[in-house]
Structure 1
């Protein structure tokens, strides 16, 4: 029996239990792994219609400057290699917290709201992220929002469903963020998610979360989806999981996240550097790096899991890389994976070998995403 006695709950835990979810510990929380239909069906339902995810374990951090949100965004550039000063009100941007060695402390979303900046960070890192930002930027008012839930509605019917509560949601573009009235509940809504599908992430007061979730689930297109399918969806979308695919031991350049470092923060840009690890990161942007994150397609039907070693040849030779995330891709009907390999072996179509239970199996490098995204741009 799984011991959940030390786990925190979310505002939707009672709903998960009523829906028959299998509850497991994750990042210190009791979270739904899957519901009675199972991971495969939940995954495919999200791709075909709409899935509802509880992501309330994520950290929501409010950052306020006495000089307004533009000043808060400019200050946050001291801890992130991202163009935040240029982020318009009502827009959100993917960002990275880096460390002095150029590693990735965490990845996050930063939203420019009318009165503040809202950071959404990973559950396992949220206490450290909060302490890091508050310490590095003492002139800002940094607050962890403990009284809010976070719900993700993802899939091709997400727009229709949410527009039934707030018609303005239909006009939002990918990475727009708005404060909307969802049937009497004031919510911070961003058109974003981590599945590769069009959809929304919805921040609401904790005491309003269950009623909102039930209203969304009342639509025949919406089914609850657990962490299991959330992971297979993000893997098919080629999206990194902090602690697996990225972390303090990887730089943004190695991870293939250079697109998240806008031109103004790079060498020669108007606001070049000024963030932790800038020397290494800017050097890698200019000169390249020895290893890169790649997509990987194993042959056959057997998934190749994280930490599987990679080799350049079927026999002999030293380990040249490692799988960081891997599993079965339900949308593709085949296994998919990601990992790190030497830069000279990163070209899509390169055959490598994964050692599974003492046997080397062919695995081919591939571009990501494995399943094209459907973001509304």
Structure 2
């Protein structure tokens, strides 16, 4: 039941022609259950693993996630900083070269068009990754905003994008490079070579979206030979370290990020939700909170920070019994007043019971009892602090 529920909840059944990532052949050979996701055929589970097995494997060992469906961008030119600091609230002067930060693309009302990771490779050289499901929207938005800047070059590109996640990630990956990975901390990046990839320059970032330590590798795959090498590397990791490494599908990726309190665009984030409502005020540094800041929606967002004018916030919810799902209504303890709604929820393999993220009226505090309407019945729940499972990011 869990498997079919997750599949229906996360993934559509569109019959349109779907794209394949450079690692598609490996998923099929490994028994991946392929489903439509953001225009791609992606593995949700593998035949040899249950969802719970996959989730727990990442928490204890190493999971490989194909995230090649994400869209990768490059920005260069003297106006690249001005553009990025208009469409996001980031302060690029605070970001050291070869480091990255989470941010959000903003519309004029301060709503979130998409979340993104921005990496600084040089004073006027930036790399960004955005969500697969927002590809066309993001490109059109950036193109429209870029019309007001002259010294700017923006392009997108495809490659194998591989997330290696779990507490043994460094131990495994270190076998393929002479670089000392222990000196690369969370949020830092580096170009390096990996022994099975024919000398190709790989972009390595110590990051991920599971709450565990790990890396994301952008591996060139524009030619048949490069694609063959990326497939070979993926398979080598699995077959040479079978006691440590397994491929992991989208189902566990969702439950891991949910336990870690991380947002999923289209669920916790949307164009009518500001970063402040989404409990992401930390994305707006103090240097960008003055009246002179002119990023999109700045007047609305800065007013929300200064005057605490938002009425709802993203928060955690725990419960027993049937799991809350997106759209379930939330009521106060007596069930007499509707106070919010679930954005995503799942049974928690790590903690037991259910965990969910929700938007709830700010008047209701952490620890408060609530009712969640599931299948026509109001069931008990509790407002919880996020994250449910503390992150284990590798920091100095």
> Structure 1: how far apart are the matches of 2:191 and 2:143?
25
- Equivalence for 2:378: 360
Coordinate RMSD, CA, aligned: 1.6
- Equivalence for 2:322: 302
**Contact map agreement 2:56 2:350 (CA 8 A) in 1:** yes
**Contact map agreement 2:45 2:51 (CA 8 A) in 1:** yes
**Contact map agreement 1:312 1:353 (CA 8 A) in 2:** yes
- Equivalence for 1:330: 349
> Structure 2: how far apart are the matches of 1:153 and 1:213?
10
Q: Secondary structure of 1:323's partner?
A: strand
- Equivalence for 1:157: 168
1:119 paired to 2:125: no
> Structure 1: how far apart are the matches of 2:126 and 2:40?
26
Which aligned segments of 4 or more residues in structure 1 are displaced greater than 4 angstroms? 2-5
1:142 paired to 2:154: yes
1:356 is displaced (CA, Å) by: 0.9
1:101 paired to 2:109: yes
What are structure 2's unaligned runs of at least 5 residues? 1-12, 222-226
TM-score by length of 2: 0.89
> Structure 2: how far apart are the matches of 1:11 and 1:357?
40
**Contact map agreement 1:74 1:85 (CA 8 A) in 2:** no
**Please, which of 89, 114, 117 is the counterpart of residue 81 of structure 1?**
89
- Equivalence for 1:197: 212
- Equivalence for 1:11: 22
> Structure 1: how far apart are the matches of 2:15 and 2:54?
24
- Equivalence for 2:4: none
Cα deviation 1:145-204 (Å, max 9, x = unaligned) = 03x110000000001111111233231000001101111332101000000000001001
1:74 is displaced (CA, Å) by: 4.1
1:3 is displaced (CA, Å) by: 6.3
CA 1:122–1:235 in structure 2 vs 1: closer, same or farther (change >3 Å)?
same
> Structure 2: how far apart are the matches of 1:329 and 1:226?
16
Q: What pairs up with 1:180-329 in 2 under 5 angstroms?
A: 180-183=192-195, 184-206=199-221, 207=227, 208-217=229-238, 218-220=240-242, 221-267=244-290, 272-288=292-308, 289-298=310-319, 300-317=320-337, 319-329=338-348
Cα deviation 1:251-291 (Å, max 9, x = unaligned) = 000000001111111136xxx42111111100001111111
